[in-house]
Amino acid sequence: MSIRDWPDTERPREKLRARGSASLSDAELLAVFIGSGRRGTNAVDVGRTLLASAGGLKPLLLAPQRKSGLGPVTWCRVQAALEIGRRFLDSELREGEALTDPDASARYLKSRLTSYPYEVFACLFLDNRHRVIAFEELFRGTIDGASVHPREVVRHCLAHNAAAVIFAHNHPSGVAEPSAADRAITLRLRDALALVDIRVLDHFVIGTGAPTSLARRGWI
């Protein structure tokens, strides 16, 4: 059945306008980007097929265009929307007042690191009022690890004149459980930075679900 034949309240665009984007399913959100279906198939069903083929929304959105099943125009629209979301979160942190909400920083760091197929270690540099000075990806590794060098971290902190930092790294496996090595490097960095009066506020491990905070576990 064509989407035009659906009740107004169930059509993706009308549903979005009336009830907000959060009310749409993954397939319905894709249908908004796809625009029109294929012969004998509406846009929502096309979205469902693409999701099933890719194994979910995240792998579909992160796939290169040639493997995604999306047309080049739709793929570009989706990638542009993802980047707009990242930049919105970036501006929210940069333009806001003191960073006092750990969940806000966790959401931002997840948006920046979750898409990498290899491990990335990053840092939010903060001033003495905990306002964001800069975000940097400091080290890149492989699918199961990245080498982190405290000396380089200290150098970057001093270059930004940071008073405090929040670290984050992703686990490409999707499992956000900190390893013994994660805990060990966090303590090494904490001790190294303490020598130059820079505080480590947190270290987030990014996976497929909610980021894990080492500070909340009492490991910093």
pLDDT digits (tens, 9 = 90+) for 134-188: 999 999 998 778 899 999 999 999 999 999 999 999 999 999 999 999 999 999 9
pLDDT for the residue numbered 208: 87
DSSP 167: E
Is 110 within 8 Å of 207 (Cβ atoms)? no
124 and 150 part of one domain: yes
131 and 183 part of one domain: yes
pLDDT digits (tens, 9 = 90+) for 40-72: 788 888 889 888 988 888 788 878 888 888 888
pLDDT digits (tens, 9 = 90+) for 72-121: 888 888 888 888 887 887 776 665 557 777 888 898 899 889 888 899 99
Helix (H, G, I), strand (E, B) or coil at 72: helix
Domain final position from 60, 84, 108? 84
Residue 89 within a domain: no
Is 24 within 8 Å of 15 (Cβ atoms)? yes
64 and 136 part of one domain: no
- List phi, psi (to 5°) of 108: -65, -50
Residue 94 within a domain: no
Q: What is the pTM of this model?
A: 0.72
168 and 197 part of one domain: yes
pLDDT digits (tens, 9 = 90+) for 3-47: 776 887 788 888 888 888 889 899 888 888 887 777 778 888 888
Domain final position from 23, 58, 84? 84
131 and 190 part of one domain: yes
Q: Which residues contact 95 (CB under 8 A, 6 or more apart)?
A: none
pLDDT for the residue numbered 97: 58
Residue 174 within a domain: yes
Overall number of domains in the chain: 2
Q: Bigger pLDDT: 100 or 196?
A: 196
Which domain range does residue 178 map to?
Answer: 99-213
pLDDT for the residue numbered 140: 92
Q: Which residue has the tokens 């169930």?
A: 10
Distances in whole angstroms, Cα of residue 87 to Cα of each of 83, 90, 91, 108? 6, 5, 6, 10
Residue 128 within a domain: yes
111 and 207 part of one domain: yes
Alpha-carbon distance of 138 to 107, in angstroms, equals 19
Residue 90 within a domain: no
108 and 160 part of one domain: yes
Within 10 angstroms of residue 134's Cβ, the number of other Cβ atoms is: 13
Domain final position from 41, 56, 84? 84
Instruction: Find the distance separating the first CA and the last CA of the chain, reported in whole Å.
Output: 57
pLDDT for the residue numbered 212: 96
What the block records as the tokens of 153 is 């971290």
60 and 140 part of one domain: no
48 and 139 part of one domain: no
Is 157 within 8 Å of 118 (Cβ atoms)? no
We report the CATH number of the domain holding residue 158 as: 3.40.140.10
Residue 122 within a domain: yes
